[in-house]
Amino acid sequence: SDLAVALDLPVILVVGVRLGCISHALLSAEAIARDGLQLAGWVANIIEPRTSRLEENLASLAERLPAPCLGRVPKLKQASADMVAEHLQLDLLD
């Protein structure tokens, strides 16, 4: 967070969607706010597509995180910036 604070940058939180992700994401959002940073949005990185209650977990994150979901990135065999960008809605950023 030191770099984001020094440069006064908003933060995009990438949430690794798997067991325990809700708690981890909420604690991360609290730490971002505690550091005086703005949470601009979050991205669901679907690490384990067969996670039980995937849709329910994503809905809980959307309800509880104080920023918009910028997209869902599925598990990709080969990841590249272009492939990931296809799954993002960056126009939701202020």
The topology (CATH level 3) of 2-92 is Rossmann fold (3.40.50)
Read off the pLDDT of each residue in 3-13 and give the average, rounded to a whole number.
93
Q: How does strand 39-46 pair with strand 11-17? A: parallel
**What percentage of the chain exceeds 70 in pLDDT?**
99
How far is residue 18's CA from residue 39's CA, in Å, rounded to a whole number?
Answer: 21
pLDDT at 94 over 80: no
pLDDT in tens, 35-84: 999 999 999 999 988 888 999 999 999 999 999 999 999 999 888 999 99
Question: Could you tell me the residue ranges of all domains in the chain?
Answer: 2-92
Local confidence band at 11 (pLDDT 50, 70, 90 cut-offs): very high
